[in-house]
Each structure stands twice: as structure tokens, then as C-alpha cells.
């Protein structure tokens, strides 16, 4: 019996298998709007057999975007096209999630095709960024403004409004993006947070902002729908955030009603040394799952059905998230089922190619 193709129920959502398309920036939006590219991109992976597609980092405010090409959900007008996408995904017996995001100091960058360099606030497609402290991500880049009480309250309200829109648009899962050096990671990591107030200093203070936002999102998001949080389990840098910190944070997130910890790593400082290799982040998902007693998702250079099956059988994670592999193979789950000799339903239109 394949665990990879066994169902998993979280709240009232049933995942038909354990295969998830990880959220990945497409840099293809104008003013935050989804378009036909996003419909085809996410829709084709639903056709391909994944249980859940998590939409790319979707900004809760214009200043929360990484680039001016990022998707957004900061105004009601964004809902209509998003609803078309969610409706199509649901026709494929699949679920769709949205990753609500704020990039903090890692906002206001050029598109990758244009060099991915920081854009100064007074330049075209640039804006003033915010963070926990006025520390730029890279030396020489324009510094962010440290969020004051008013700014922190605005972010909370932006997440509340975005969560309401996500519900109207028909998403099945909300994931709060608190990884990869973006705003919440900038608060909880001591490498980016030099504050002296109730949001800085101690571990409890540094995680406060994420917990406060998680609490209001959970209150706004329907009880029957799952809530995920993506974290960076380690900064991979001495003096930074650690896996032990992540376990303690995950316990608190679970107490607030978070259903799964999407376990990634790094991204908070440019000089981190990351030992990238197949499955290199899986041990973090396993430790959080076992020590915090919470469901986890494993991500990072997981590229085969056999590798995925082993991770699940060894109890190291509950869901497997595929990023680059899902870009290379939109129909990866169908190939994986064949590899594991599992009989799964193919889309009616494609059944003739099953054998």
C-alpha cells in the first residue's frame, strides 16, 4: 500500500494523496492580478493529479510584494480571476491553497529576468520597504523602515482582509508565509531583529508578531478549513534561528489552531552556507513533527516517487511539497503512480494514455 497515494483528512478537507505543488513565484502579474497564465499553470497541475496546489506568495498589500510582478489579494477586484482558478481546480477533484505573504525588507526587487536587483523607493517599480529593524538584506541596499505600532497594526489588518478575500475566492487552505527571510522571519530571527520593544529581544518577543497575525487569521478563516504556516527551520548561520527554536514556535502555532507546518529553511541572510542536497530539509520536518506533535510538510530537492514514499513511511512528514519538480513535470503524480504501481484515476480526457 502506497502512503504517497493514501488520502489525508485535515479538518474537513480531504487530500486525495500526499502530493502538493509548492508555492512558487511566477512574476507574471500586473497590479497583483491573476491572469490566464496562472489559470493554466495551476490548472494543469490539478489535471496532473496533485492533491493540493498552493498558489504563489500572494501579497496582502502592494508594499508586501517581492517584485511588481507578484500576485496580490489586497483589493476586492483581485477576487474574480482567483475564483475562476479555484473553480477549475475543484473540477479536477483537487484542492487549492493560497500563500498569504509580506516580503518586508525583501520587497521592491526587479524581476529575475531583469537582474533581481533592489529597486530604490524613488525609482520606477520601487517602493519603501519595512521590516523589524532598519537593516537592509544586503549591504548597500536601501534600508527598510522599522515598523512602529501603527505599521504593525496595518499588517494585521491587511492579513485579516486578505483572509476574507481568500474565503470569497474559494480557496481551501490558507498558508501564512513566515519563511525565507520575509517579514515574519525578519521578526523571529535575531539576525534581522534588533528591536528593544515587545517585538524584540527574547524568543517570546520575536515570535509575537507571527503569533498575533496567526491568531487573527485563524479567527477569520473558517474553522473547517486547514491553516498552514511555512517557516524556515534554521538560518544556517551561527547566532541565528535554530531548529530548536522552530520546534518551540511550532508548539505555539499548533495551540493557535495551525494544522500543518510547511518546513523550509534559510533565506534570511545572503551569506548563509546551505548544504543543499536531495532531501536536505526533511530532518527538520521530522523533528518538528515528532517533538511538536504537529503535521508537517517536507520540501526541498524531493524529486522521485520512491524518495517521497520513504519519507512518508519513515514518519518524517505528512505531505510532500514539490517545487522545481512540479515545474519540470506538471503531471508528476501520474508518473509517480505508474512508478509505484498504484492505480489512480486519470482525467477523463487523458485516459487513453494511461496504459
Residues taking part in catalysis:
182
| Predicted model pTM | 0.98
The contacts of residue 157 (CB under 8 Å, 6+ apart) are none
Q: Which three cell numbers stand for residue 168?
A: 470569497
Residue with cell 546551505: 274
Which pLDDT score, from 0 to 100, does residue 355 have? 74
Neighbours of 275 (CB within 10 A): 6
With contact defined as beta carbons under 8 Å apart, do 61 and 158 qualify?
Answer: yes
d(CA 42, CA 48): 10
- pLDDT, tens only, 46-105: 999 999 999 999 999 999 999 999 999 999 999 999 999 999 999 999 999 999 999 999
Which pLDDT score, from 0 to 100, does residue 169 have? 98
With contact defined as beta carbons under 8 Å apart, do 171 and 42 qualify?
Answer: no
The contacts of residue 253 (CB under 8 Å, 6+ apart) are 210, 211, 214, 229, 261, 294
Which pLDDT score, from 0 to 100, does residue 186 have? 98
End-to-end CA separation in angstroms for the chain:
21
Q: How many CA atoms lie within 13 A of 84 on its CB side?
A: 13
Which pLDDT score, from 0 to 100, does residue 238 have? 96
Q: How many CA atoms lie within 13 A of 198 on its CB side?
A: 8
pLDDT, mean of each 10-residue run, the chain (355 residues)? 97 98 98 98 98 98 98 98 98 98 98 97 98 97 98 98 98 99 98 98 98 98 98 98 98 98 97 93 98 98 98 98 98 97 95 88
Which pLDDT score, from 0 to 100, does residue 200 have? 98
Which pLDDT score, from 0 to 100, does residue 3 have? 98
d(CA 336, CA 324): 15
d(CA 82, CA 164): 13
Amino acid at each position: 500500500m502506497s502512503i504517497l497515494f493514501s488520502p489525508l483528512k485535515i479538518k474537513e478537507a480531504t487530500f486525495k494523496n500526499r502530493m502538493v505543488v509548492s508555492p512558487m513565484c511566477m512574476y507574471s502579474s500586473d497590479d497583483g492580478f491573476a491572469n490566464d497564465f496562472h489559470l493554466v499553470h495551476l490548472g494543469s497541475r490539478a489535471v496532473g493529479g496533485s492533491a493540493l496546489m498552493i498558489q504563489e506568495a500572494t501579497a496582502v498589500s502592494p508594499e508586501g510584494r517581492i517584485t511588481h510582478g507578484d500576485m496580490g489579494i489586497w483589493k476586492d477586484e483581485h477576487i474574480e480571476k482567483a475564483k475562476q482558478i479555484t473553480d477549475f481546480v475543484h473540477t479536477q477533484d483537487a484542492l487549492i491553497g493560497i500563500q498569504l505573504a509580506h516580503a518586508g525588507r525583501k520587497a521592491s526587487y526587479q524581476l529575475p529576468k531583469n537582474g533581481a536587483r533592489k529597486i530604490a523607493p524613488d525609482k520606477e517599480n520601487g517602493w519603501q520597504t519595512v521590516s523589524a529593524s532598519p537593516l537592509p538584506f544586503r549591504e548597500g541596499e536601501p534600508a527598510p523602515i522599522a515598523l512602529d505600532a501603527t505599521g504593525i497594526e496595518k499588517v494585521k489588518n491587511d492579513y485579516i482582509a486578505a483572509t476574507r478575500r481568500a474565503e470569497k475566492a474559494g480557496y481551501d487552505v490558507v498558508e501564512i508565509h513566515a519563511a525565507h527571510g520575509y517579514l515574519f522571519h525578519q521578526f523571529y530571527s535575531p539576525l534581522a531583529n534588533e528591536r528593544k520593544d515587545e517585538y524584540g529581544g527574547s524568543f517570546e518577543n520575536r515570535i509575537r508578531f507571527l503569533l498575533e497575525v496567526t491568531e487573527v487569521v485563524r479567527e477569520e478563516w473558517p474553522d473547517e478549513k486547514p491553516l498552514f504556516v511555512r517557516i524556515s527551520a534554521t538560518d544556517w548561520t551561527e547566532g541565528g534561528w535554530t531548529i530548536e527554536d522552530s520546534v518551540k514556535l511550532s508548539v505555539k502555532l499548533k495551540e493557535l489552531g495551525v494544522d500543518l507546518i510547511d518546513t523550509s529553511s534559510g533565506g534570511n541572510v545572503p551569506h548563509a552556507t546551505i548544504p543543499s542536497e536531495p532531501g536536505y530539509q526533511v530532518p527538520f520536518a521530522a523533528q518538528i513533527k515528532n517533538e511538536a506533535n504537529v503535521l508537517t510538510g517536507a520540501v526541498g530537492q524531493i524529486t522521485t516517487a520512491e524518495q517521497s514514499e520513504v519519507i512518508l513511511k519513515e514518519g518524517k512528514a505528512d505531505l510532500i511539497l514539490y517545487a522545481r519538480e512540479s515545474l519540470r513535470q506538471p503531471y508528476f503524480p501520474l508518473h509517480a503512480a505508474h512508478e509505484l504501481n498504484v492505480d489512480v484515476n486519470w482525467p477523463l480526457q487523458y485516459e487513453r494514455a494511461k496504459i
